[in-house]
Amino acid sequence: MCGVAGILNLGGAPVSSQALERMTDMIAHRGPDGSGHWVEEPVGLGHRRLSIIDLSSAGRQPMQTSDGRYVLSYNGEIYNFRELRGELEAKGHRFRSRTNSEVLLYAMAEWGAGAFERLNGMFAFALWDRRARRLTLARDRYGVKPLYYWTNGTAFLFASEAKAFLQSPGFDPQIDCDGLLEYFTFQNFFTDHTLLEGVRTVPAGCYLTLDCGGGPQS
């Protein structure tokens, strides 16, 4: 498993590291092997780790590229990461761990959105581009790994589980009547609705980008 959580303050206000830690703690059961937090001005990424492939500290997240430009918080498994790693090494990238998360990080750095066509696996992740000041949220084709988001126009929150949003003082949990009707009708969700008003899922096979100070774009 593993857990992803984060905050982007759309108006540029600094993120509270304590608020990010509280959100990440709410999903601690998803990653019993450790936690990590990265905060820089209006953005903060949190992670709960379940160690599988590389048990060392080299696999700790959030993870940065060697040049410091990209920061990743990721949940999932890329089945073809060894093949992708070979391609990336041929392009000059050097790896510090044996993790598939580091391969994903450099795949996004090398190919951008084009990396999605190369990924074979299940995943949900957040990637912050420090140079462009852009956040990308992405989810695998079948939606195996969950990724929720909520915004009040000032703060944009995201997490592997919506209950992490309960740690935000601006979040008021109310029932989404349309979501409730959809669930009662189909015993499932076929849109991006959830049972909580204002909380949406990143649709399967899709990604969202947000520029600091702007709104989401698909």
34-77 pLDDT, tens digit each = 899 999 999 999 999 876 665 667 778 899 999 999 999 999 99
pLDDT digits (tens, 9 = 90+) for 140-177: 999 999 999 999 999 999 999 999 999 888 899 999 99
**Annotation marks residue 2 as catalytic:** yes
* pLDDT at residue 51, as a whole number: 66
pTM, two decimal places: 0.92
What would be the CATH architecture of the domain defined by 3-217?
A: 4-Layer Sandwich (3.60)
The predicted pLDDT at position 214 comes to: 44
On the question of pLDDT at 13 being above 90, the answer is yes
Give per-residue pLDDT as tens, 179-211: 999 999 988 888 999 999 999 999 999 999 998
User: Quick one: pLDDT band at residue 103, thresholds 50, 70, 90?
Assistant: very high
Helix axes 100-111, 81-90, angle to 10 degrees: 50
Paired residues of 157 in beta bridges: 7, 150
Q: What is the 3-state secondary structure (H, E, C) of 141-193?
A: CCCCCCCEEEECCCEEEEECCHHHHHHCCCCCCCECHHHHHHHHHHCCCCCCC
Q: Enumerate the domain spans of the chain.
A: 3-217
pLDDT score recorded for residue 55: 61
Token pair for 123: 């995943």
Residue in 2, 177, 206, 212 annotated catalytic:
2
